[in-house]
Amino acid sequence: MRPSPETERTGAAMETLRQAIASARLGDHQRGRELCASVLFDIQPLLARRKTLLRTAVLALLVSQGFRLLTRVVVALTGHRIRVVLELQTGTEIGQPRFQEETQEILFTVDPRWLAQLTGGDPFLLGWCEALAGGRACYAGSPAQQQRRMRLSPEPV
């Protein structure tokens, strides 16, 4: 029995995205972005239905620093525009990504050190891809992370 054309297309795209991740990890972000761009148009209709493909594409775009392409994917899935801002956090702890809603776009602030160690099993990546597949551009973290953030927030005066 032969795999469906969609399955074959997904497999080929996954392999290209893995090559993009490998190129970016070796420091060739431009090559990683080029590889991502070569498959994104073809797989875009599949991203919301195939979560592994979505997670791999988002991972490849993040580690390749393909932020414009990532914005296009987010707009296609959610209708919301994001702008990625790299921000090195002060201190030794690696900052978790965060979203801030602005008037016409959502700011997605990312610590480059987090990008350097990002894997496909990262809880933030998993949760955000789940939100993207559901049509939401923002992800506030797991309920446990949200509770911790609430406890650490200053109380209103």
Domain boundaries, the chain: 5-152
State the Cα–Cα distance between residues 95 and 89, nearest whole angstrom: 6
| CA dist., res. 84 & res. 130, Å (int) | 19
pLDDT of 142 > 90? The answer is: no
* Mean of pLDDT over the chain: 87
Pair type for strands 98-101 and 106-110: antiparallel
DSSP per-residue letters across 64-104? TT-HHHHHHHHHHHHS--EEEEE-PPSSSSPPPPEEEE-SS
Query: Mean pLDDT across the stretch 29-47?
Result: 94
pTM of the model: 0.85
Residue 94 burial (CB count, 10 A): 14
Task: Tell me the HSE value of 79 on the side-chain side, using a 13 A CA sphere.
Answer: 3
Q: How many angstroms separate the CA atoms of 82 and 66, rounded?
A: 13
Q: pLDDT for 84-140, tens place per residue? A: 999 877 677 887 898 998 888 899 999 999 999 999 999 999 999 999 999 999 887
| Amino acid 10: pLDDT | 93
Which pLDDT score is estimated for 140? 78
Higher pLDDT among residues 72 and 94, named by residue: 72
The contacts of residue 70 (CB under 8 Å, 6+ apart) are 58, 61, 62, 82, 84
Q: Are 53 and 10 a contacting pair, CB within 8 Å?
A: yes
